[in-house]
Structure 1
Amino acid sequence: MASNENSRSAAEIVAAEWSDILSYGTDLINPAVPRAAYQHPSLRELWPMVSHGVLYLSRCTQYPWSRDVGTAFPQSAGGYRVRRESDKTLIGVADTVEEAYELIANNLPDNCGPAVVGTADDL
């Protein structure tokens, strides 16, 4: 853990990362994606990260991240396929990004709370 993370709470670390991701341009992600996720208080408490234009959410702030929160994958024909990586479960298919993050928010793991400082092993 970086020394600056030792002095900051998980909520502060998560909030700072959300602030960064919400400012990303279209070269990294469709800005509507993090905005749709951020509208849900339960998702706003999770650690956000972007890879290949996809927003991933984790219950911890360090690698290895948890993989038990759904992810919305954009489909070439439009819409989103929402899948949980930990067990490859298809949570559903959504026509809009807002519907996709509603599915994710409604299918969080049991006892899912704010992200913790640490790795998935710390959960």
Structure 2
Amino acid sequence: MITPASSEESRSAAEIVAAEWSDVLSYGWDRIDPAVPRAAYQHPALRELWPMVSHGVLYLSRCTEWPWTDDVGTAYPLAKGGYRVRRESDNTLLGEVDTMEEAYELIAATLPEGCGPAVDGTPDDL
């Protein structure tokens, strides 16, 4: 007997990513400065990536399941103000900027070659 797929299985990667962005955009100060995900979400290419928050930092991945990719830049707030933008996959400092808007402009400008919408799966599915 064939059973209908669950609603989770039938959702597209784009729908899964959009739902996660909706959650992340609703987070309060207890999780992250709410302006951070809003700044990232302004960039269409970043909006297509899987967002996650840990220790007050927004991470973006090209896949929706662990282990997430680490080849998209991440903006880390600096104690002195501004942001340090790093790409963990090759331990590259992409730059230091004054504002979170500049940080996410830099991240969008330095996406990996061929970076497209996140896939529903792991890095092996890219």
Q: Deviations over 1:4-58 (max 9, x none)?
A: 4321100000000000000000010001100000000000000000000000000
Consecutive unaligned residues of structure 1, counting only runs of 5 or more, are none
C-alpha distance in 1 between matches for 2:104 and 2:58 = 11
Residue among 110, 114, 118 paired with 2:113: 110
Consecutive unaligned residues of structure 2, counting only runs of 5 or more, are 1-5
Supply the AA of the counterpart residue of 2:94: I
Identity level (%): 79
Supply the AA of the counterpart residue of 1:39: Q
C-alpha distance in 1 between matches for 2:7 and 2:49 = 19
How many correspondences in the alignment?
A: 121
Residue among 52, 73, 76 paired with 1:73: 76
Q: Root-mean-square deviation (CA), in Å?
A: 0.8
C-alpha distance in 2 between matches for 1:107 and 1:48 = 17
C-alpha distance in 2 between matches for 1:30 and 1:121 = 32
* Match of residue 45 from structure 1: 48
- Normalising to structure 1: TM-score of the pair? 0.96
Higher Rg of the two aligned structures: 2
The 5 A counterparts of 1:20-99 are 20-99=23-102
